[in-house]
Structure formats: C-alpha cells, structure tokens
Amino acid sequence: MAEKRGHHSESTFLNNPLTESDELLCKIHQKEIVFFCRCHDKLLCMVCYRLDHSKCKDQIFEIEVAAQKVKTSAAMGKLELDILDLLQNVKDSLQIQKHNLSSFQEVEKTIRKEVQKIIERIYQQQESFLCVLKTRNDKVKQAEQDLLQQESRICKLQERISGLKRSGTDKQLFIEMKMAEENAFKERNSFLEESNMKYKIGFQINPFFSSADNTLGEIKFMSTLRSYSTSSSQEAQIELPIGSDITKNVLKVERNFNIHPAKHLMELYGCVILPNTNVVFIDSSNKRLVIHHENGTYLKELLIPGKPFYITAAGMDEVAVSFSPRLISIINIKTNQFESKLTKYIENYSRGICYDDGKLYFVDHDVGIKEVSIDKEVVRKIHVDIAGIGNIAVYKNRIYYTADHNNKLYCCDTLGKQIWTISDDRLKAKKNSAPLAVDNDGNIFAAGPDSGVVIMISHDSKQTEVLIDEVNAIRHPRGLFYDKHHKKLLLCYKKNGLAHLFRLQ
C-alpha cells in the first residue's frame, strides 16, 4: 500500500512544482488566472478583477500578454539566480549552525570544568575555615575545664576559712588566712588570657560571592551577521509596456476644497483619498479628522485624542494616523473605531507613515523606518543613516523619504540600501520635510514645504518635471496624496484650510 502523504506536503509549491497539465488557479477563489494587474503586481482571476481591480483599467493585462517572452525575461533570469543564491545561502547558514552547535558543546565543557575548579577551591576554603575554628574551639574547651577545677579548689578554700572562723582558734585562723592569701594569689595568677577572652564569632563571605548581583562569570555571545549573496542589486521587472514620459504630464484642477471650519485656526498636516471616495484631512490644531466627499461635500469630523501629524490610507474605510509623540492609531472612518496596537513598536516617537500591500511603514525618529505587517503584527526595522526623516512613500520594494532642514529626496530598497539621492532647493524647509506621494510606476511627487512648488521625479531620478511652479504655488503645502485608481493628486495646505484635487493628464 502506498504511504499516505500529509496535506501540507501535497499543497506546497516547493514539494509539488506545477506540470504542464496543472491548471493555474487563483488561491482565493480557485478560478483560472486570466489577468495580471501591473498596478498591484497581482495575478487575477475573473472574480478578483470584478471585485477589486475593475478600476485599474490600463494597468490590467491578459495573462498571455504578460507572459510573453517570460522564459527569456530579465525577471525570470533574476528569479533563477535568486533561487541559486537562496540555496547557497541556506547551505552556508547550515554550516554556520553546525559550527555554532559545536562551539556550544565546547563552551559547555569549559563551563563545567571551570565551575568544578571553583567548587574544589571553595571546598578547600571551607576546610581551612573549619580547621581554624576547631583549633580555637579546643582552646576554649581546655580553658573551660581549667576554670571548673579552679572553681572547685576555691570553693573548698572558702569552706575551710568559714569553718575556722566558727570553731578554730585565732592562731589557727591567722595561719590559715596567710596560707589562703598565698593560695588566692596563685589562683589569680593562674588565670590564662584565654580564660577571660569573650568571643563574638561571625563569618563573612567575600562580597563578590555574597552579593546577589554577582555571578561566577558570564557567557558572552559575540555574533557577526553573514552577508547574504544576491545575484543583482538591480530590480528586474516583468517586461510590460512602460508608462509615458513624465515630462508630458500636466495637472488640471478638478475640485477645490474649503475644509469645514473649527473653533481654532486650522493646521492641516495631511490628506488621503479612500477607495470609498471619502477624502480625509487631519487638522492638528483642532485634534480632529475632517471627512469630505470627493465632490467637496462636508460629511463629518472625528475628534481624536492627540495632535495628528501624518496620515495614510489603510483600507476601504480605514486610515492610519501618527500622533505626537508615541501613538499610531488605525481608525475606521465608517464606524469611528480606534485601534492603537502599533504603538508598542515605537521606540522614540513616530513621524511619517505609509501603507503599501498590507504593510504599514512608519518613521521612528532617529531609530529608522519600521515595516509592520498589520495582520500578523510582525515588525522589521529598516536602518537608514539619515537623521530627521519626516515623510515617506513606498512603492513595491522601494522607499522614498525626505528629512528636516534638507533639500534632498532619498530612495532606498526595503533593506535600507541607498539607490539614489537627488537635491533640489525647492524642497528645502525651515522646519518640516517635503511631503511625498508615489504613482503606479514608482514616480514620485514632492511638494516644497516653503516654496509651494510641486515637482515630479521619475522612478530612476533621471527626469524631473515641475507641475506647479513658483508663480502658481501656494506656500506651506503639508499633505500630498496620489489616487492610483483614478490618477488624481490631492494637495492640502497648512494654514488656509484649502485643498486642491488635480487630475493628472
């Protein structure tokens, strides 16, 4: 009888690679995969397309088109090299673990040997202490016996003197008195120094051993992280039609927003467009979220527990908001429910925040950028060497960010490795960093916090296009958001309660 195999062993791709006869099915709906969405880098069945990707439009390709020349594509070549690298890395890591286990065994032997030596020395010390104590104890016992005998002699002398006083003659008493004086003198002189020595006996362990804070020693683990080999530092993408030249893009105003007023002067620090067409603004000075419809109609406001400074869309009805100093909340705009489960990952204080492909990225000031899988609550720290990072934007495996008092835009991968940096004085600010947004092709929008100029930078930093120049600029833009489904750019300003919705053409 054939051995029955476990369910998991039959369902994993690595154990059961596809054959030509296998049908390619969607993991969610178990339907045939027919499309590829370039916008979200996802394989789609017809159900996926209808439910979640019908608005992606020109970013949808039939699977046959997307798969053309895949065997000779750079992406396939990189995948094959990555698999070889992965296999070699696993083998190298296995050797490291074997080395570690061998080292642990050697250290265990050393620990046992050294501790045994200490135990033997302690035992020797114990015997030495007890020997000293016994010697002194014997002397005290001998002194005790001598004193008991002396006590007996003196008592007898005392009785003899008393008897003579009662019935003896004066002559007898005088002679006995003189003899007693001589004997008493001898008895006094016979007292040993030991006889009058009163001991207060104590014992004290060396403070090093008696202190609970001290140990016999310490095991130190000195580790070095092995560098993982990678086949290429460049990104290889599936060869699909590329987007148009960014220098041909222009902004056309679609709608102006007059943000619903509040008690205090507004200070808008961020804005997002949700998939449900609601537009959310954060008003820091009034501690509120202001929700408008995309058509400009005011809907409602939500009062929040602190001053918000950064916001990102995190679902159909959800936003993630970064407060000062140590709070990140996931807020459902529809139900008004708050969750703060991400706060525990903040070491210093939170700043810029961005959501991409089910993961939340936020800046932990002067600590780095952190990536959090919201569902699994798994956090990963991305180390970057730039201080004062404020705003971030994420596209696939790239992170774009700007810093305070700085005129630079940085691009790194999700491991923190720098890819490129550009400088533009129009992005420099006295206090805040330039707000950012990213489109479907990884091109970046950036707004100068002081100049008000909005520029677009290509994903490789080789092209720059001014979308709003100095003549048409409004100072102090703080919020910038790109709607990837409808190709719209939302821009809000800190002090005047205004926001503009542009269509990118």
Maximum CA pair distance of the chain?
147
pLDDT digits (tens, 9 = 90+) for 391-420: 999 998 899 999 988 889 999 988 888 999
Contact 392, 400 (CB under 8 A): yes
- Structural tokens at position 116: 């045994």
Query: What pLDDT score does 446 carry?
Result: 94
Cis check: omega of the bond before 449, within 30 degrees of 0: no
Do 467 and 445 meet the contact criterion of CB atoms below 8 Å apart?
yes
pLDDT at 159 over 60: yes
What residue ranges define each of the domains in the chain, with the CATH number in brackets? 110-210 (no CATH), 246-504 (2.120.10.30)
DSSP state of 241: P
Amino acid 179: pLDDT: 82
Between 156 and 300, the higher pLDDT residue: 300
pLDDT score recorded for residue 171: 84
Residue 237 confidence (pLDDT)? 45
Query: Residue 411 has what pLDDT?
Result: 94
Q: pTM of the full predicted structure?
A: 0.56
| pLDDT of the residue at 154 | 82
Which of 14-28, 324-338, 344-358, 421-435 has the weakest average pLDDT? 14-28
Lowest mean pLDDT among 220-229, 329-338, 415-424: 220-229
Q: Nearest Cα to 497, choosing from 224, 332, 260, 329? A: 260
What pLDDT is recorded for position 5?
37
Average pLDDT, the chain: 82
pLDDT band at 309 (very low <50, low <70, confident <90, very high): very high
Rounded CA separation 268/259 (Å) = 9
d(CA 480, CA 482): 7
Q: Has residue 198 got a pLDDT over 80?
A: no
Evaluate whether 304 touches 270 at the Cβ level (below 8 Å). no
Confidence of residue 17 (pLDDT cuts 50, 70, 90): low
Is residue 439 within 8 A of residue 431, CB to CB? The reply is no
Give 9's contacts (C-beta < 8 A, 6+ positions apart): 15
Instruction: List pLDDT tens digits, range 72-105.
Output: 877 787 788 878 888 888 888 888 888 888 888 9
Higher pLDDT, 379 or 449: 449
Assess contact for 271 and 490: CB atoms under 8 A: yes
Phi, psi of 86 (to 5 degrees): -60, -45
Closest by Cα among 70, 72, 65, 73 to 34: 65
More confident residue, 84 or 437: 437
To which residue do tokens 């679902």 refer? 315
Average of pLDDT values for 275-290? Answer: 93
Compute the distance between CA of residue 321 and CA of residue 136 in angstroms, rounded to an integer: 77
The predicted pLDDT at position 3 comes to 39
Looking at residue 11, its pLDDT comes to 39
Query: Given pLDDT bands bounded at 50, 70 and 90, which one contains residue 236?
Result: very low
Q: What is the rounded distance in angstroms from the CA atom of residue 243 to the CA atom of residue 438?
A: 14
Instruction: Say what the pLDDT of residue 91 is.
Output: 86
Q: Between 57 and 502, name the one with better pLDDT.
A: 502
Asked if the model's pLDDT at residue 192 lies above 70, the reply is: no
* pLDDT for res 341: 65
Helices (H), 373-463: none
Q: What is the pLDDT of residue 206?
A: 65
Predicted pLDDT at 218 = 62
